[in-house]
Amino acid sequence: GNSVTQMEGPVTLSEEAFLTINCTYTATGYPSLFWYVQYPGEGLQLLLKATKADDKGSNKGFEATYRKETTSFHLEKGSVQVSDSAVYFCALIEGGYQKVTFGTGTKLQVIP
């Protein structure tokens, strides 16, 4: 079956530090890949997505590139802010299916 593996958190960074949250996946087909963000007490918001190999998703300074050869979709941001503190979920949907497979989530805490 499909699976998504994320680095365990929490990740604590100082403001303006560089962020990387690793995500790797296993899938039998050609999935679409997503990063969702969940702020405290709220639902999930789509942060970015990529639908095919070598696509780069980007939003609000965050980026992730769909790497088929390494089955990875690592999330990066060059300079984090306190407002980026949240839980980040990597996820995939395999083409033709509806079920979302989520990673376990990585909590990011940015301190001033």
Partner 1 sequence: GAVVSQHPSRVICKSGTSVKIECRSLDFQATTMFWYRQFPKQSLMLMATSNEGSKATYEQGVEKDKFLINHASLTLSTLTVTSAHPEDSSFYICSAEGGGPNSYNEQFFGPGTRLTVL
**Residues within the interface to partner 1 (CB under 8 A):** 32, 34, 36, 41-46, 49, 51, 89, 93, 95, 98-100, 102-105, 107
Please say whether the dihedral angle defined by the alpha carbons of residues 35, 62, 31 and 70, taken in this order, is positive or negative: negative
- Provide the minimum distance between the beta carbon of 18 and partner 1 in the complex, in angstroms, as a whole number: 25
Query: With respect to partner 1, which residue has the nearer C-beta, 5 or 65?
Result: 5
Q: Nearer Cβ to partner 1, position 70 or 98?
A: 98
Distance CA 53, CA 95 (A): 13
| Strand, coil or helix: 30 | coil
Q: Please state the closest distance from residue 45 (CB atom) to partner 1, in A.
A: 7
Output the smallest distance, CB 44 to partner 1, in A.
4
> Of the two residues 17 and 55, which places its CB atom closer to partner 1 in the complex?
55
For the chain, counts of helices (H) and of strands (E)? 0, 12
- Residue 48's identity, in one-letter code, is L
Pairing of strands 106-111, 11-14: parallel
